[in-house]
Amino acid sequence: MQHFIETQQFTKESLTELFKLSSSLEGARERSLEGKILATLFYEPSTRTRLSFESAMMRLGGNVISVESARETSSDVKGETLEDTIRIIGQYADAIVLRHPEIGSAARAATVSKVPIINGGDGAGQHPTQALYDLYTIEREVGRIDGIHVAIVGDLKHGRAARSICYLLGKYDVRMTFVSPPELRMRDDIKEYLAEHEVPYSEVERLDGVMREADVVYQTRIQKERFASPEEYERLKDVYVIDRALADSMKEGAIIIHPLPRVGEIAEDVDDSPHAVYFKQVGYGVTVRMAILKTILGGESDILRPPAI
């Protein structure tokens, strides 16, 4: 049994293997997981993660059972613990995709689960499957990962997607720039990880110069749900907006990606820019999640190291 809790479970070599499998599954419909059942258990709102996992499972011939808005519609309302919920759902399904607002919740679930747990986002902790398809998008659209300059923009303090991709990029020969206001800077644990792996990075507050230099601009939204003060959110929400003029300033072959949803930080007139690949990125997400499900449920290959739980 393999749980997928954190991006640190991958090596550079196993990422190459996963991405080869992902490429082989682009556009595929098959029956390799026929008879298997995936449960998607979501305590926080989701469109892309929940539906793309369900789509991925169905494209592999499997079945899905789902709990959406679990804090309002599950036995959590009655006071049931997460651990007990996992013990119960493990009787119904062959694997569980869990989204929960608490950091470390997926690791907690894995300690009691009799079926594989896949982390669909644990608060401001990690979102490992998002990071995998972000990285896959970079490889497919830029053509390489080693040797590139990646700028990550926006709410880096709370952004689990931004944090997760840093753990993956730390395995490559890249240069990174963090663009954020002082209040939303990347946390020290990520910066210490990059320093340990000798990944050069810088921190800046202005976006315009970085847009002209970077090979990848990873734009993120300012996350309203993570702020204790509505006033602070209102002050910061529009601090970085990529408009068409900024997009047009990018060098040839550079791309803009985004974990989505966007809430104004990328103008709609950027959508038809040759640099904008964030909707294409969503399609890559289904493919990569197909590869993850095949790996975990189909015995396709043994590429995941055990999580540190």
Please list the active-site residues. 48-49, 78, 99, 127
DSSP 184: G
Q: Do β-strands 95-100 and 117-122 pair in parallel, antiparallel, or remain unpaired?
A: parallel
100 known ligand binder: no
Residue pair 109/119 in contact by the 8 Å Cβ criterion: no
49 known ligand binder: yes
Residue with tokens 């449960």: 39
Residue 184: how many other CB atoms lie within 10 Å: 23
Amino acid at 221: R
Rounded to 10 degrees, the C-alpha dihedral 170/284/54/125 comes to 20
Residue with tokens 């950091």: 103
262 known ligand binder: no
Helices 12-25, 278-297: crossing angle, 10 deg rounding: 100
Of the candidates 87, 90, 40, the one whose C-alpha atom is nearest the C-alpha of residue 66 is 40
CA distance 85 to 90: 8
29 known ligand binder: no
230 known ligand binder: no
User: In 3-state terms, what secondary structure has residue 87?
Assistant: helix
78 known ligand binder: yes
Q: What is the DSSP string of 255-309?
A: EEE--S--SSSB-GGGTTSTTB-HHHHHHHHHHHHHHHHHHHHS-----PPPP--
130 known ligand binder: yes
261 known ligand binder: yes
Q: Do β-strands 117-122 and 149-153 pair in parallel, antiparallel, or remain unpaired?
A: unpaired
DSSP 264: S
Residues of the binding site for L-aspartate: 78, 160, 221
Residues of the binding site: 48-49, 78, 99, 127, 130, 160, 221, 260-261
Residues of the binding site for carbamoyl phosphate: 48-49, 99, 127, 130, 260-261
